[in-house]
Structure formats: C-alpha cells, structure tokens
Structure 1
Amino acid sequence: MPVSPYIRRLRAHIGTDLILLPGVSTVVRDHTGHILLARRSDNGRWSLPAGTVDPGEQPADAALRELYEETGVHARIERLGGVATHPVTYPNGDRCEYLNVWFRCRATGGTARVNDDESTAVAWFHPEQLPDLDDWATLRINTTADPHAPAWHADPGSHHHALTNPGAL
C-alpha cells in the first residue's frame, strides 16, 4: 500500500514505533441503500474506504479523495458520522493510532472498481448481506445508518470494544 511522503519521513526517524495520525473514512450508500466496501490488499478483509489526511488538507477533502482513489466512486458528504481514535498494527509491524473522522456519504458518480493497489475488490452490498466485517467497520456503518442522527463519539471515560482492538483502518 502506498505510504505518503510525510509518513515515510516520520517512519525513517522512528521505525515501527507508535505514531498518532489523522485519518478519515467514508460510509457510502447508493440510491438503493447499498454500502460500498473494498477488500484490502494488505490483509484481505472487507472494509470501508479510508486513509490519512495529508498536511494542509481538510478531513472532508481527504475522505472524498481517498474514496475516489480507492474505489473510482464520487460522492457527496451528507453528514459527519463520528470521530474516535483507533489503533492499527500493520503486517510490517508499523503501529499507528488514528484520530479517525468518518462521514456518511451518498454516491454521485463514477464506477465502483479497484482503482489503486490498496484494494483487490470493490463492491456494493445490501446492508443485510454485508460480508464479515470487524467491529471497527461495523461501528462506522451503524453510526451512519440514520441520516439524521448526531455525530457519534465515545462517551468520556468509556472504552468501546471496537476502538481498542488493533485492526484495519
């Protein structure tokens, strides 16, 4: 998976030690309510399109950029889905804690396809027929199900199980 030049420079100094990074992800629905997922090339799991925010980039811009780069789909943001920190340990041993901002989005164009080397498959799934997903992906999908719900966050002092298990973005 491509690593941004910014993160590559950080890793040159600290190796695989923990870094805190800004991350974004999208829960994209089409006009029928199907949800867009991508099968990650690094671990083979289905997940939501996601990535890091580049220096100087706003989270909403990063979310839409990552979505298109990974899936070929264009979307508009309908609302903020939530915000939380989430640990990730990559297969190469790199450890990150992402401050992730996720968005509920509506597909507006493009064609769902593998659009870079971060995914091996891209597909739309009916919400009742999702493939096996980790708790982190499920949390983001569930917190964006209601188009009018407020943005989600962990309550102060709480430790939601989906936010403590290292996994994919």
Structure 2
Amino acid sequence: MPVPEFLRKLRRHVGHDLLPLVGVTAVVLDGGGRVLLHRRSDDGRWATPGGILEPGEQPARAVVREVREETGVLVEVERLATVIGQEPHTYPNGDQVQFLDLAFRCRPVGGELRVDGDESLDVGWFAPDRLPRMADRILERIRCAREPGGEPHYER
C-alpha cells in the first residue's frame, strides 16, 4: 500500500515512533446482502476497503474515495457502524501506528468492479456465510454493519 505524502513528511520528524492515526473502513452491502471485499496487495489478505484519513478530509468522503480507489465501486454512506481504537501495530519497516477506525455501512450506487493493481490484487462480492478467512476485527465490523438499527458499536 502506498504511504500518503503527508505521512511520509510526518515520519521524517518522528521517525518510527508511535503515531495515532484515523482510519476509515467501508462495509459495503449490496441489495442481496453480499459484502464487497478486496484482497490487499500489501499482505495478500481479504479485507473490507479502507484507508487513512488525510488532513482536512471528512471521514465519510474519505471512505467513498477509498472504496472507489480500491474496488472501482461508487458507494453512498448509510451510517456509522463501529468506532474502535485498535491495538498498536508495528510495520516491518519499524513504523508504529495505532488506528482509531471508523467503519461505515455503505451501499453501492455505481461503478464497476476492478482491480486497481496498486492496493488490490482481487475484488469481489461475498455472501455473509461464504466470507474468506479474515481478521476477527474485520469480521466484527461486518457483523455490526449488518445489524439493523443505527447505533454504532464501540467499546464501553
């Protein structure tokens, strides 16, 4: 995954030290309840589309941008599904991050599935009972987004 330029500049000042960042995730559900996933180019794993909020960017706009970049699908945000502070993570290069992730339930409104060749190796729609192996945190986001109602899930 390419590192945004604002983050490269910030890393020049803080090195590998822990950075708190805001991430946005899209749980895109089509009319049949299928979930849009992409296979990430950085680790080869299936995941929901998403990325890092850029300076000055609104989270809902960021998640629409990320889905379009990674899958070719244009979405409309329906609601906030989860607000989760993730555990700190260290990348292979030594960079440390801790994400506050905002996951949004979205629905497709246009575009066509495509592999971008940069962030995604594959994209597809999956029935909830046929999801590929994914991290528990991603499965939790999907579960929360599929629940009826509008109250976002967060740790109490």
TM over 0.5: yes
Partner of 2:115, secondary structure, is coil
Amino acid at match of 1:20: P
Match of 2:153 in 1: 152
Partner of 2:10, secondary structure, is helix
Q: Report how many aligned residue pairs link the two structures.
A: 155
The share of aligned pairs that are identical, in percent, is 48
RMSD: 1.2
Q: Deviations over 1:92-150 (max 9, x none)?
A: 33221011111000111111221251111111100000000101101100111123141
Structure 2 unaligned regions, length at least 5? none
Match of 2:121 in 1: 120
Amino acid at match of 2:63: A
Which range moves more in the overlay, 27-36 or 11-20?
11-20
Amino acid at match of 1:147: P
Partner of 1:63, secondary structure, is helix
Structure 1 unaligned regions, length at least 5? 156-169
Partner of 2:64, secondary structure, is helix
Match of 2:23 in 1: 23
In 1, Cα distance between the equivalents of 2:34 and 2:92? 30
Partner of 2:146, secondary structure, is coil
Residues 22 and 123 of structure 1, relative CA distance in 2, 3 Å threshold: same
Partner of 1:57, secondary structure, is coil
Match of 1:96 in 2: 97
TM-score w.r.t. structure 1 length? 0.87
In 2, Cα distance between the equivalents of 1:98 and 1:38? 20
Partner of 1:100, secondary structure, is strand
Residue 129 (structure 1) aligned with residue 130 (structure 2): yes
